[in-house]
Structure 1
Amino acid sequence: MRRWMRPAALALAVLAGAGTTGFTATPAPPAESAPPPAATLDPDLAAQVDALARAALTAGATGAVVGISDPVRGSYLQAYGTADTAGTPMTTDVHYRIASVTKTFTAQAVLRLADQGRLSLDDPLEEYVPDIPHGDEITVRHLLGMRGGVYSFVRDEEFMARYVADPLLPGWSPYDVLEIIRAHADEATPPGQATVYSDSEYVLLGLVIERVTGRSAQQYTTSVIEDLGLQEASYPTTAALPEPYTHGYMNTDSELTPADPAAEEPRDVTLSNPEVPSTAGAVISTVPDMIRYAEQLASGTGLAPETARLRQEWTPLTSTGLRVQYGLGVLQLGNWVGHNGSIFGYSDMVGHLPEEETSVVVMVNAADAEAVPAMALWSGIVTLLYPDSLPTW
């Protein structure tokens, strides 16, 4: 199955707005109070991290950025390789598409609306988006937890062929996703039976946000990002990325688009239409911003305490091997809390280890929206520094 994130592949890689709230939320600290991590990691450990990062520059990836924030071992922020095939050095402040990490912001937006009393997590989807299979049974909570049973539109072969041919996909909108969902009604399942990753469920949540707020999902999600003090994160309205940015490439070992043997360089897929992933994967950021965000995500910053607790009531995404679970728009990978993502040209992992108060963020500038190349690097770093943090079932 194709998706902005693949939990099964993830496990294998590791093993290899307006209104009063009526509550006191955990406030976001001012951005200036949480500077990017300094290069203070022990030199021997840093050298081992460097070796892992350099080894990750394969299969079309020209560069990577690694960020580590650890109050005991020290912090580290380093760029590797180049930002493009022309040889421009990679820098630590480059913007990139965070792919499915976007879902954490979409969930934050919905949960904030719930805290404000503007919607209930038990509201049926039918109240906001009509004519979705099982829409009268699916709740907002089901969608947040990947338990809605909704057909994931990225599995549709006709859609994927069009998207691969032209990532700009002119004229696309989330309403095209609805048509795909309805066309595959026989592949929907009743909600609440299993936790199954579906990008469609987060596109639907974007439409819920719009119906509740009267604003575009892009506008409302932007307000959530701003409230968290993330100055480099943005929800784009065009195919462009803010400067500076790294180019993104299709990984050359992709089964989705096999590399042309005659091509001298990997396919550049930097420019893509943000309306395609929309609230399932459109946001752009930087590694330093995501280091700051990792702790906010794990601690429930900006949410009522009970909502933050509810967000981390986990259900299994895997049953054997590495323990991978899903909450409400947040992933638990072993003992780590965060999310990963893969989209044309970019893969990443944002993780926080609460018991160590540690964050590790990795970006690699190659992906195909299915494989998550950044996971091998992230897991290598985590296994090196925190070997007991990735328990299995």
Structure 2
Amino acid sequence: MKKVIIALLIGTTIQAQTFNKAKIDSLFNLIKENNKGMGSISIFQNGNEVYHNSIGYADIKNKIESNQNTRYRIGSITKTFTATLIMQLVDENKLSLDTLLSEYFPQVLNAGKITIEHLLRHRSGLFNLTEDEDFMKWMLVSNTREQMIDRLVRRDVDFQPDEKTAYSNTNYLLLSYIAEEIEGKTYAEILESRIIKPLRLKRTAYGGKINSRKNEALSYVMEDSNWQLIKNETHMSVPVGAGAIVSTPSELNIFYENLFSGKLVSKASLEKMMDTSSGMGIGLGGETFFDKKAYGHNGGIDGFQSLTLYLPDESLSISYLGNGIVMSPNDLVVNVLKSYYDKDYQLPEFKEPLKLKTEELDVYLGVYTSQSFPFQITITKEDTVLIVDAKDGPTFPLVCYVKDGFKSDKAGATLNFLPAENKMILELNGNKVDFRKK
């Protein structure tokens, strides 16, 4: 469950073209043929599904192929659901954005200073429980609310409330508990009564142990050109409203369509959710696709990776849920939208990486900065692998695909170096940015 989407395509005015299903089919056929991903995608426009595709298997061992009804763990996209539930309670005057955490959990450090809005916008300063050193042990078993709170109260805060924005799953775990306190129901029951039943969602639910016989996807990781089953499953009592929902791409689009059409929260609440001026919205991240504003969330849990976006001006929603990831959902969705808008689209190339000696990497090492990009990038190496470390951003390894050219499919980034000029060009989701070495 990681940070929401970073810099997307910007700066080009695009008019929607006639939908070209064959062109997007060709992208997914290429991914399938090259074994670069497994998952499902759905595109809605003006409330109607205009495209769906599924590739790969929900269960490789039993040869169960994924299809339109396959359910996936959606990870942190759950937070958009939780934020919606909280804003419904605000609309009903059962809660206020100014309500203090101390009204519900006074034992939490700084509870008398932390508001509901701080939690919603990741501005509480509370320690992220998924970063606990023993997380991999207790995430696999059932946990009570008391156990989770006890772990939190033993930790110091990371910063003071409203000092800055920093993503923490703890915020949405606590919001789940607060909703349960107000409604006198479990989070699963609240989700069912307030969102699932009203929207008539058939494949969206509070998750449990995965059962592929019920068309639920298992997750896999690519090792030595083969998909290997990820056996560890987070017990859903751990993330609750921070990441416990399972769904399909089509039903995520239905949820987003209803949210942005004003059928789930008031206009004032939706506007607050879409306000990203402090760094994040309420259960939503905001970026720019082409010249259009996009809102959404990504998710990652137990090898599953997912992304849902909604472009209000286009009445366009797109969701991709993956249970086997090589190309990142972010990069995949950008390719889909390039194809959808017919914007200089070329199919990606999948080549075997070049193998370099460790001393051949030295020319690329250093700190790179750009006037137009928010992250300072440090390039280091581990033996024969080049590593990107973006300050206040992601860290990921690169593979060499051409002389002076490196990429990460999972991060959706390409770095082309010009060593003689001490320059580097970053291509991130179609946006090219020039960097200079310090």
The match for 1:151 among 121, 127, 149 is: 127
Alignment-derived partner of residue 20 in structure 1: none
Shift in Å, 1:267: 2.9
Q: Distance in 2 between matches of 1:114 and 1:227?
A: 19
Q: Is the 8 A contact 1:42 1:73 kept in 2?
A: no
Alignment-derived partner of residue 305 in structure 1: 267
Alignment-derived partner of residue 303 in structure 2: 345
Q: Is the 8 A contact 2:218 2:229 kept in 1?
A: no
The match for 1:45 among 20, 23, 26 is: 23
Alignment-derived partner of residue 375 in structure 1: 330
**Aligned sequence identity (%):** 25
Q: Is the 8 A contact 1:341 1:347 kept in 2?
A: yes
Alignment-derived partner of residue 199 in structure 2: 228
Q: Distance in 2 between matches of 1:154 and 1:327?
A: 21
Please state if 1:210 is matched with 2:207.
Answer: no
Shift in Å, 1:373: 3.4
Alignment-derived partner of residue 22 in structure 1: none
Q: Is the 8 A contact 2:43 2:250 kept in 1?
A: no
Alignment-derived partner of residue 246 in structure 1: 217
Alignment-derived partner of residue 415 in structure 2: none
Q: Distance in 2 between matches of 1:192 and 1:96?
A: 34
Q: Is the 8 A contact 2:114 2:161 kept in 1?
A: yes
Q: Is the 8 A contact 1:174 1:203 kept in 2?
A: no
Q: Is the 8 A contact 1:341 1:372 kept in 2?
A: no
The match for 2:324 among 360, 366, 369 is: 366
Instruction: Indicate the larger mover: 203-212 or 238-247.
Output: 238-247
Alignment-derived partner of residue 236 in structure 2: 274
Counterpart amino acid of 2:337?
Answer: V
Please state if 1:69 is matched with 2:44.
Answer: yes
Q: TM-score, normalised by structure 2?
A: 0.68
Where has structure 1 moved over 4 Å in runs of 4 or more? 71-74, 237-242, 386-393
Shift in Å, 1:98: 1.1
Shift in Å, 1:266: 1.2
Counterpart amino acid of 2:166?
Answer: V
The match for 1:11 among 6, 18, 42 is: 6
Shift in Å, 1:54: 2.9
Change in CA separation of 1:209 and 1:242 when aligned onto 2, cut-off 3 Å? farther
Shift in Å, 1:269: 3.4
Which is richer in strand? 2
Alignment-derived partner of residue 31 in structure 1: none
Which is richer in helix? 1
The match for 2:56 among 81, 84, 104 is: 81
Q: Distance in 2 between matches of 1:392 and 1:142?
A: 34
Change in CA separation of 1:71 and 1:56 when aligned onto 2, cut-off 3 Å? farther
Paired residue secondary structure (1:83): strand
What is the RMSD computed on CA atoms of the aligned residues? Answer: 3.1
Change in CA separation of 1:133 and 1:366 when aligned onto 2, cut-off 3 Å? farther
Change in CA separation of 1:373 and 1:178 when aligned onto 2, cut-off 3 Å? farther
Paired residue secondary structure (1:295): helix
Change in CA separation of 1:103 and 1:57 when aligned onto 2, cut-off 3 Å? farther
Q: Give the paired residue count.
A: 334
Instruction: Note the residue ranges of structure 2 that are not aligned, 5 or more in a row.
Output: 10-17, 345-428, 434-438
Alignment-derived partner of residue 78 in structure 2: 102
Paired residue secondary structure (2:308): strand
Paired residue secondary structure (2:324): coil
Counterpart amino acid of 2:28?
Answer: D
CA deviations 1:242-298 (Å, max 9, x no partner) are: 82222112x34xxxxxx6x7x975133374411111110001111221121222233
Q: Distance in 1 between matches of 2:432 and 2:94?
A: 39
Q: TM-score, normalised by structure 1?
A: 0.76
Change in CA separation of 1:221 and 1:56 when aligned onto 2, cut-off 3 Å? farther
Instruction: Indicate the larger mover: 210-219 or 269-278.
Output: 269-278
The match for 2:152 among 157, 178, 181 is: 181
Alignment-derived partner of residue 107 in structure 2: 131
CA deviations 1:311-339 (Å, max 9, x no partner) are: 2111354xxxxxxxx21112223221121
Larger radius of gyration: 2
Counterpart amino acid of 2:303?
Answer: G
